[in-house]
Structure 1
């Protein structure tokens, strides 16, 4: 017996040959020889009646020699049984070791493989001793002496004991393989389903692409991505024996993920095309509307210049020109998006539409800002007290919260609130001039409210109210 995982059984020690015969070979190497030898005493027993009837030729030399012969034969049979059990156990364990070696590359697994190889050397030594003992003595010789039979019994018994000891070592080693073998078998159990899932995912992706093409939509990018997976399928079909179990599992899972993504995108492609068509129309309409709205910015600016100081409107001077430029740029990108849609370059069309949307959003904000500026300045010019009271209310509300459950406020809360009061008073004072900067006043009151809101948020966070 050998200890190399995955190799067929072949004794590593050459057997000695009897001058009268060699061990016959039947189905299992040395094991075949043993099984043949085990059958010989039965043949001899069947021949005894004929010998006593005068038809045999064996000469008998007393009861002691025959007794020793029988004992030697019994020892031989027992050794053969021990040899068979050890051989069977080694073969079974070799399958487990090969399973672990194929799946697990951890230090523990490598150590188990090495330990099994060392045990194989011990098994070979015990087997060599047993085979030598069998080959050294022909228990069927007519002139077998009692001393020879006794010596054969002693050697065969010693060989059996050695085989038993090695079998015990092998059993203990097998008991310790439980966790490693369980882990390996679990991975092997995952292997076939994982590979099958990968194959089905690839088939699903291919079918989805065929359906897309049947609806006269192109999916060249998806087809290219699917083609990349073809070599991976080849490796999966070659099996774990060639590429290893862990690598095959990882490959199968990766192929499944990528093929599923391709399938989902292919199935969504008709909806994606319809969505792009809708966005082309919607954004075109919005660009036209913004063109009309941007034309209204100049009259708004004229009114702002006539009624308010330069500080209230000078940051809006470039809005009309910028709006017109952005709309023209958006329309150019829309034209490119229509071309990409016509050529079914879906990713390019989607990216261009996103650019158009961003341009229109910024233009919309700028155009709206001009109108909103005029509206707010009109309101504060007519009644600045409403903005003042709104800001004072926010400060008073924060002061009440800061004093809740306290005799004196926390300085880190009181200080910014006092600053807010002072800042508001200064902003109010700017309204007393001949040409008040209403926009500065509005931005200051907004800044005061934001500072007060930060103090309120900090107080609530510290007290854990969450609201």
Structure 2
């Protein structure tokens, strides 16, 4: 056996014993070579094996395969599978993170909607999100199980195990991605509901602040009015009634709901604004009540004087015209006196209310006084107006006749405009008006004609004709 053969046989290549040459050296040999030395030695040992006889090769071969050469041949494939599995694990982790982030963001949107909206579409969106949450829990459990089942950092990780891990992690990543797409589509469908909810939430803080500022302004206005010596007890009571509403506003929308809080804030702002406006107008209102008290008192005194002139008017009507011309005016003097008396009583009550600064009562009483005086004024004026009109028609009834005939002829021309024959719906009332006019004219014949009946008949005829004219114009206007 040659010296080379004895060297190879004496020093088999094993992982636990580094290769050292048998040739003596002047310098001591270190106990461990650099990291790449075993691989270089393994290749050289294989060359030496070729030179050995077959029996020696059989003895040396197992030891050679037990050394560093084995780790290189099979470890390269295992490391490749490990790297691919690790990449699949990283991709699955990224997909899991994206899905978790999207779910958290979407949960905020759902909470925004539920805080504002309780309609069936909103409740349906909440139910769909819960169903998606269960689906997300399933795929997340699958991903976590796949990660826990495979330790990719083990030194003895086999290639087949790494490949299996890569397959499971890739499948988990794909499931996470599909659920993420479902979540994205669901989020797109929430657009209208979310926009409506965000709009209401954006209104919430400004609305509550406006309500608070309105209450403060009303309180300040009330203090300013009281400083002038005017009472405002009713306004103070209305402002105090808003205190519980302010408490609920301060408790927030989380306790009472966004829609209810918005409605409450608007109502408080509106009511407080009304109190402030009335408080600011109160000095002017007091002045106005004082002015009306004086004005209505003067008017009541004037009507007392005028109502005393009704009896002479009635006396002349009785003397010159038939009873039908004045019978409905017989009670005017007594009615006028009673109305003036009631007005004076209400005026006294209004004056007391003003002194006690019961502004609403004073205003209501003055309105009653004004209505009584208006009615009395009309009744007193009616007697004098009746005498004037009867005097005019008794002297010249032809004026009223011509006025009525002109109205009838004008309506007849309008009804025939653009037509050969009139519409029966319009011709009939016009023909009846002509006959009615003739009968009214005939009623003037005799020794004591009823001029009042004559006047009222002609007024009724002119009213009927005016109705026909209005109907014609409306129909032609609609046809145009």
- Please state which band the TM-score falls in when normalised by the shorter chain: 0.7 to 0.9
2:31 equivalent in structure 1: none
Q: Which residue of 1 aligns with 2:272?
A: 259
**66, 71, 79: which one aligns with 1:62:** 71
Q: Which residue of 2 aligns with 1:115?
A: 128
Number of the residue aligned with 1:454: 467
1:25-59 per-residue CA deviation (whole Å, 9 max, x = no partner) reads: xxxxxxxxxxxxxxxxxxxxxxxxxx969xxxxx9
Q: How does 1:83-162 map to 2 (within 5 A)?
A: 83-162=96-175
Decide which of 195, 199, 214 is 2:227's aligned counterpart: 214
1:379 to 384, 392, 408: 392
Q: What TM-score do the two structures reach when normalised by structure 2?
A: 0.77
In terms of mean alpha carbon deviation, does 218-227 or 293-302 score higher? 218-227
SS of residue in 1 equivalent to 2:444:
helix
Deviations 1:360-395 (A, max 9, x none): 111011111111112222222333333333333333
- Describe the SS at the equivalent of 1:434: coil
Match 1:429 to one of 438, 442, 459: 442
- Structure 2 match to 1:303: 316
Match of 1:62, SS state, is helix
Residue 450 of structure 1: SS of its match in structure 2?
Answer: helix
Instruction: Look up the SS of the partner of 1:432 in the other structure.
Output: coil
How many Å separate the matches in 2 of 1:270 and 1:401? 58
- For 1:435, what is the secondary structure of its paired residue? coil
Q: Which residue of 2 aligns with 1:182?
A: 195
Equivalent-residue separation in structure 1 for 2:90 and 2:427 (angstroms): 102
- Mapped to 1, the partners of 2:333 and 2:161 lie a distance apart of 122
* Separation of aligned partners in 2, 1:119 and 1:435: 99
Looking at structure 1, the residues matched to 474 and 99 of structure 2 have their Cα atoms a distance apart, in angstroms, of 74
Q: Give SS of 2:447's match.
A: coil
Matched, 1:358 2:377: no
Task: Report the counterpart of residue 286 of structure 1 in structure 2.
Answer: 299
Is the alpha carbon distance of 1:464 and 1:111 closer, same or farther for their aligned partners in structure 2, counting shifts above 3 Å? closer
User: Paired residue for 2:43?
Assistant: none
Change over 3 Å in CA distance of 1:52–1:351 after alignment to 2: farther
Give me the whole-angstrom Cα distance separating, in 2, the residues matched to 1:70 and 1:414: 105
Secondary structure at 1:464's aligned position in 2?
A: helix
1:172 to 185, 190, 196: 185
**2 CA distance for matches of 1:227 and 1:178?**
42
Cα distance change, pair 172–386 in 1 and its aligned pair in 2 (3 A): closer
Structure-to-structure mapping, 1:232-243, within 5 angstroms: 232-243=245-256
Offset at residue 183 of structure 1 (A) = 2.4
Structure of larger gyration radius: 2
* TM-score normalised over the length of structure 1: 0.79
Is 1:347 equivalent to 2:360 in the alignment? yes
Q: Tell me how large the CA RMSD over aligned residues is.
A: 2.8
Whole-Å Cα distance in 2 between the matches of residues 129 and 411 of structure 1? 89
- For 2:298 and 2:412, the matched residues in 1 are separated by 50
1:216 counterpart SS class: coil
Q: How does 1:375-454 map to 2 (within 5 A)?
A: 375-454=388-467
Equivalent residue for 2:51? Answer: none
Q: Deviations over 1:119-174 (max 9, x none)?
A: 22222222222323333344444554555444444443433333333333323332
Could you say if the C-alpha distance between residues 94 and 399 of structure 1 is closer, same or farther in structure 2, counting changes exceeding 3 Å?
A: closer
* CA distance in 2: counterparts of 1:417 and 1:114, whole angstroms: 72
1:15-34 superposed matches below 5 A: none
Q: CA deviation at 1:69?
A: 4.1
Counterparts of 2:423 and 2:147 in 1: how far apart (Å)?
A: 101
Larger deviation, residues 396-405 vs 351-360: 396-405
Moved more, 352-361 or 130-139: 130-139
How far apart, CA to CA, are the structure 2 residues paired with 1:119 and 1:443?
A: 83
Q: Which residue of structure 2 lines up, in the alignment, with residue 25 of structure 1?
A: none
How far the C-alpha of 1:302 sits from its partner, in A, is 1.6
Aligned mates of 1:407, 1:123 — CA distance in 2 = 84
- The number of residues matched between the two structures is 411
Residues 84-128 of structure 1: CA distance to partner in whole angstroms, max 9, x if unpaired?
222222222221221122222233322222222222222222222
Residues 1:173 and 1:337: Cα distance change in structure 2 (over 3 Å): same
Which piece of structure 1 moves more, 98-107 or 137-146?
137-146
Q: In structure 1, how many angstroms separate the alpha carbons of the residues matched to 2:435 and 2:87? A: 115
Deviation per residue, 1:326-364 (Å, 9 max, x gap): 000011111111112222222222211111111111101
Change (3 A) 1:329 1:152: same
CA distance in 1, matches of 2:472, 2:147: 95
Compared CA separation, residues 391 and 111, structure 1 to 2 (3 A): closer
Q: Judging changes above 3 Å, is the alpha-carbon distance between structure 1 residues 126 and 431 closer, same or farther for their aligned structure 2 residues?
A: closer
What secondary structure does 1:431 align onto?
coil
Deviates more, 1:74-83 or 1:366-375: 74-83
